[in-house]
Structure 1
Amino acid sequence: MNIELSVVMPCLNEAETLAICIEKAQGFFEREKISGEVIIADNGSTDGSQQIAKSLNATVVNVPQKGYGSALRGGIEAANGKYVIMGDADDSYDFSNLMPYLLKLREGYDLVMGNRFKGGIKPGAMPFLHKYLGNPVLSFIGRLFYKSNIGDFHCGLRGFSKKAFYTMELKTTGMEFASEMIVKASLKNLQITEVPTILSPDGRTRPPHLNTWRDGWRHLRFLVLYSPNWLFLIPGLILMVFGLITSAVLISGPISIGSVNFDVHTLLFTSVLALIGFQFILFYGLTKVYTVENDLLPKSKKYDRLFKFINLEKGLIIGFILVIVGIALSFSAYTDWQAISFGNIENNSVFRRVIPAVTLMLLGVQIILFSLFFSILGLKK
């Protein structure tokens, strides 16, 4: 008989609650007349969890590589079902009520997320920091960065098709596996929806494996690193535009706001802001090429246009022009310095040429080096 649904539970010393979770899932199969299986992805339990699972006719998959993501990947790869629903084996999720997930999967959705904030969080089921800070903030960042409508990025109960799982090409080994799944599904334009899910208190007497600050940071780090737009491009554009505009104003002459006077010393700092912003933008380009060419991010039409707009020849021409202009401004300032017999420079007009000259030369060299490295990274094209 073809198996329609595989329920995968990661397991690391879950003897207290494993049996009830397996029995609930199997009871759901029998009640709804679903061809299903329960997969226990064991991550090195020493409390007899494997024997409990086998006694209840669940399939035990031993996953030696440690980590929540590693255990789930091992269990999902061993699953035989067309659809997979994953959930923690701590009895916080109700495996006897999986029909809302299966119905959405049958409708054609690739990923079906649970939403605990819509379904209900029972007293004591979620720590205060997770409920009011961690989950809302990380979910907001995920929605902002990846244009996703998912309200609960970290719900442990979720379903997906086996085909969608391989399409997502998940890599992480830890708790950030939960975030990676939504990020990859969003980037690859898979069909995602969510259903209300009730979260109950953890049925175990021991502390959970989840570490609030460590795993929260891993989720945040993943969300940021997989979004070079927000990590590099947007901050870079803000810094560079602000630096260039204020520098252009100060080059024409000093400005005063109230009793505060801004002159060449401020010009030096605004030029540095422009350079820092440009560095951010260069790193965005290099990161984009690296992640796409190494299959970490999907290729888009914008990416192909990037190579048509930016190439080695254009970069070298623009870079050398900026360097030459910078050298010309430097020579002009040098002649003024020579005119006063290389004495103390008291005229700020000289600095209004020296600072832009140095800035242009630095920008030119950066563009030349970027163009060379950008072309090396994109050699596959």
Structure 2
Amino acid sequence: MSIELSIVMPCLNEAETLKTCIKKANDFLQTNDIQGEVIIGDNGSTDGSQAIAMANGAKVIDVPERGYGSALKGGIKAAKGTYIIMGDADDSYDFTTLMPYLIKLREGYDLVMGNRFKGGIKKGAMPFLHKYLGNPVLSFLGRLFFKSNIGDFHCGLRGFSKEAFIAMDLQTTGMEFASEMIVKASLKNMTIAEVPTILSPDGRTRPPHLNTWSDGWRHLRFLLLYSPSWLFMIPGVSLMIVGSVLSTLLIIGPLDLGGITLGVHTLLYSCAAFLIGFQLLLFYGLTKIYTVENELLPKSKKYDSLFDILTLEKGLIVGFILILVALGATIYAYLNWKSVNFGDITGYGTLRVVVPAVTIMLLGVQTILFSFFFSILGLKK
């Protein structure tokens, strides 16, 4: 008979708890009359975990490449089940209570996530920083960046169909594998469900493999890199709006704010803010092209139209017009300087022309360079 469910566990020196986890998984399959298998993705254990797994009826897959994600991918790729449920081999999850996951998978959901905050976190099961800072903050950012309703981004117990796993095309090898799965599923508009899950203290006497700060940073870094809108576009547009409004006011004249006078020196910083914002916006465009063309992010409906709107020719025309405007302003400033016989400029009127002129010239040059690079990245089109 065909295998319906594969239960996959990553393993690196889990001799203390591995037998218990495998027994619970097998009991679940037998009790519920499910055609299934238990697979251990071993990441180079040296404590005899492989022998324990085989002695208890599990299939052991040797995964030389180190990392939580690598171990899981190795086990999942070898799985023969229509559905797969993955979970840690430290006895923190009860493998006898997987039926809610399987029911959702049978209903057609692509990904079924556990939610420990709804199911319950037993005393001592999760460190204070993870429970009240790390998991809530990273889960919030994940929901914000990717419009996902998942309440617990990092629950280690989750299920998915083999077909959905292949479509996700997961690439990461470390702990961020957990975030990548939800991000890819969200970006590809897969159907996702949540079920309450209880987290218990793990049964090992040694410390866990998870490193609070380095693994937390890896998760955050991944979320940012896969969301160019939040990494580049939104900060860029914000800086451009603030910089342009403030620069316009300061070009007209000094700005008095409750006894504080903002003048030409502040104009330098406001123009710099506008330029930085413009650069962030350009990076957003280039990153978007690169990630889509290299199949790191899915193609949006409006993606192809970008190449009709942002052409090399249009970019060159706009860039050269900006440079000509800057040169005109520079000539005007030069004539003002000439009117005082090229001496010291005592007033700030000339600087209110020079600073915007330099800013516009840089915008023109950046537009031209962006247009060339944009066209190079989009050569496939």
Structure 1, residues 154-184: CA drift from partner, whole Å, max 9, x if none?
0000000000001111000000000000000
Cα distance in structure 2, aligned partners of 1:308 and 1:101: 45
CA–CA separation in structure 1 for the residues paired with 2:306 and 2:115: 38
Alignment of 1:92-241 (within 5 A): 92-241=92-241
Unaligned runs of 5+ residues in structure 2 are none
Q: How far apart, in 1, do the equivalents of 2:200 and 2:228 lie?
A: 37
Residue 156 of structure 1 aligns to a residue whose secondary structure is coil
In structure 2, distance between residues paired with 1:104 and 1:49? 31
Query: For residue 88 of structure 2, what is the aligned residue in structure 1?
Result: 88
Q: Which residue of 2 aligns with 1:71?
A: 71
Taking the aligned partners of 1:305 and 1:235, their CA distance within structure 2 comes to 24
Calculate the TM-score normalised by the size of structure 2. 0.99
Q: Could you list the per-position Cα deviations for residues 247-280 of structure 1 after superposition, in whole angstroms to 9, with x for gaps in the alignment? A: 1111111121121111211111111110010010
Matched with 2:270 is 270
Which secondary structure does the structure 1 equivalent of 2:238 belong to? Answer: helix
Could you report, residue by residue, the CA deviation over 1:67-107 in whole angstroms, capped at 9, with x for unpaired residues?
00000000000000000000000000000110000000000
Matches of 2:277 and 2:46, distance apart in 1: 52
Give CA-to-partner distance per residue, 1:114-156, whole Å, 9 cap, x none.
Answer: 0000000111111111101110010000000000000000000
Matched, 1:329 2:332: no
Which residue does 2:373 correspond to in 1?
373
Matched with 2:243 is 243
**Secondary structure of 1:41's match?**
strand
Moved more, 52-61 or 299-308: 299-308
Match of 1:354 in 2: 354
Give the whole-Å Cα distance in 2 for the aligned partners of 1:324 and 1:243.
22
Shift of 1:339: 1.4
Structure 2 CA distance for aligned equivalents of residues 20 and 268 of structure 1: 66
Aligned-partner SS, 2:302: helix
SS of residue matched to 1:348: coil
2:206 alignment partner AA: R
Following the alignment from structure 2 to structure 1, what is the Cα–Cα distance between the partners of residues 264 and 130?
49
Match of 2:293 in 1: 293
Cα distance in structure 2, aligned partners of 1:272 and 1:97: 58
The whole-number CA distance in structure 1 between the counterparts of 2:263 and 2:58 is: 75
Q: Distance in 2 between matches of 1:29 and 1:192?
A: 24
Question: What is aligned with 1:54?
Answer: 54
- Please report the RMSD computed on the Cα atoms of aligned residues, expressed in angstroms: 0.7
Shift of 1:319: 0.4
1:305 deviates by: 2.5
Give CA-to-partner distance per residue, 1:210-241, whole Å, 9 cap, x none: 01111011001101111000000000000011
Q: CA deviation at 1:302?
A: 2.5
Which residue does the alignment assign to 2:39? 39
SS of 2:160 mapped into structure 1: strand
Please give the alpha-carbon distance, in whole angstroms, between the structure 2 residues aligned to 1:171 and 1:231.
20
Q: What one-letter code is carried by the residue in structure 2 that aligns with 1:325? A: V
How far apart are 1:308 and its partner, in Å? 2.1
One-letter code of the match for 1:149?
Answer: N
Residue in 2 aligned with 1:2? Answer: 2
SS in 2 for 1:171: coil
CA distance in 2 between counterparts of 1:126 and 1:263 reads: 53
Corresponding residue SS for 1:14: coil
Within 2, Cα distance between the matches of 1:261 and 1:126? 53
TM score, norm. by length of structure 1: 0.99
Instruction: Provide the aligned length of Structure 1 versus Structure 2.
Output: 381
The residue identity in structure 1 corresponding to 2:83 is Y
